Amino acid sequence: MSNQTPSRIPHFESMSKFPNEKIWPTDTPKTNLHIGGLFPIVGTSGWLGGQGCLPAVKMGLDDVNSFPDLLPGYQLVLHDNDSKCDPGLGLTALYDFIYRGASKLLILGGCSIVCSSVAETAKMYNLIVVGYGASSPALSNRDRFPTFFRTHPSATIHNPTRIRLFRQFGWQRIAVILEAEEVFISTGKDLETQCKKHGIEIVTRVSFITDPADAVKTLVRQKTRIIVGMFYGNAARRVMCEAYKQNLYGSKYVWFLIGWYEDNWYLPDDKVNCTKEEMLKAVQGHFTTEALMLNRDSNITVANVTAQEWLQRYHRELNISAESVNKPEGYQEAPLAYDAVWAIAYALNKTIQRLSAKNIAIESFRYENSLIKDELHNALKETKFLGVSGLVAFSDEGFKLSFTFL
């Protein structure tokens, strides 16, 4: 493959085809390969990372469609829809993708609860789903989700790091508080299993749906000092505000929180009855663990730029500076979304070559066609390249291998 720097295609204009759906084409006379995209952007709960990830995906489309030796004679066309991190809306959008317009070769998805419902249904239509922002351990179940891949690692990747810290500091009694979503429930169960293997006691594991007050009061009654929290960012604000009210903070307590919240996640909103100063006291000194999402070295990536050069371009796309406190949700996962487009393009490129040897055109794909799905599935399993998020390669369970950091 050529190392020529991909040229920049002018910014796309939205073209609405049916309600809530936008199409991002280029004007080059090539055969279109259609993909569907679910981006949680507007909503009241869950992960709304489509805000930061959709611009990164558009950058990826820009680049793969202009790369000289990739997908010759073809171009990727994205049909995107706001799922609002709602599994019902996600399924509605999936059926829109399937039953309206051209056949979609695969689906891009974000938000674990949406990816779970969509991937479980998509397999019945021979559709591959590639998740750019879905960390639920349940999605690694190949019996349940045989056509699901993701550039986001499983949330269980954090548990070995947590265990090492527990052992290093001699912490033997741990409490877990989590939001009642599959991604956190399954991660919590895995942490409990890992703790038992190392002789660490889970004193209590409490959950909540919307109001964490009773769950936090249970932590107080159990007199726990080391607390692992697993919840989305909007719920994290409510938990830490309640922790302040219950005096469950300070030098006597250690909180472990998720590292993919935005930089200013703790600032109070209209659902939190705490001041900024109170929230700062509550979160002071907490630990976070997170998967490495942006390559930290200066190697040239698949896009012919370093990760830092890509980040500067991404900031220009968002019209923000690196120091901005108003980064969109999904900002940290944006490199994973960008690399997901390259993974798709490479897999399609390899699939096109293999189908050509069988005198089959990839654009002939229909939802009853398992042969093209199988070729695409195999090509994704073989995909390996250096992306802006680091090395992109998929495990047997379909998730990207990654490192964690504190």
Please report which confidence band the pLDDT of residue 341 belongs to, taking 50, 70 and 90 as the band edges: very high
The pLDDT score that the predictor gives to residue 154 is: 86
Please report which confidence band the pLDDT of residue 18 belongs to, taking 50, 70 and 90 as the band edges: very low
Same domain for 205 and 240, yes or no, is yes
Same domain for 45 and 77, yes or no, is yes
Number of domains making up the chain? 2
Last residue of a domain, one of 259, 291, 323: 291
Same domain for 200 and 184, yes or no, is yes
Please report, for the domain that includes residue 347, its CATH number: 3.40.50.2300
The pLDDT score that the predictor gives to residue 40 is: 96
SS3 category, 55 = helix
Q: What mean pLDDT is predicted for residues 125-132? A: 97
Q: Which domain, by its residues, includes 91?
A: 31-154+299-405
| Helix, strand, coil percent values for the chain (each to nearest 5) | 40, 20, 40
Of 108-112, 234-238, 285-289, the range with the lowest mean pLDDT is 285-289
Same domain for 39 and 147, yes or no, is yes
Q: How far apart are CA 126 and CA 386, in angstroms?
A: 28
In the chain, the percentage of residues whose pLDDT exceeds 70 is 91
Which pair of tokens denotes residue 134? 């879905």
pTM of the model: 0.82
Same domain for 401 and 362, yes or no, is yes
The pLDDT score that the predictor gives to residue 46 is: 84
Same domain for 182 and 238, yes or no, is yes
Decide: 154 and 399 in contact? Cβ < 8 Å.
yes
Could you tell me if residue 7 is inside a domain? no
Same domain for 113 and 188, yes or no, is no
Same domain for 323 and 266, yes or no, is no
Could you tell me if residue 23 is inside a domain? no
- In sequence order, which ranges of 85-202 are alpha helices (DSSP H)? 87-99, 112-122, 159-169, 182-197
Same domain for 328 and 399, yes or no, is yes
Same domain for 161 and 286, yes or no, is yes
Same domain for 174 and 284, yes or no, is yes
In the chain, the percentage of residues whose pLDDT exceeds 90 is 74
Q: Is the model more confident about 387 or about 405? A: 387
pLDDT above 80: residue 299: yes
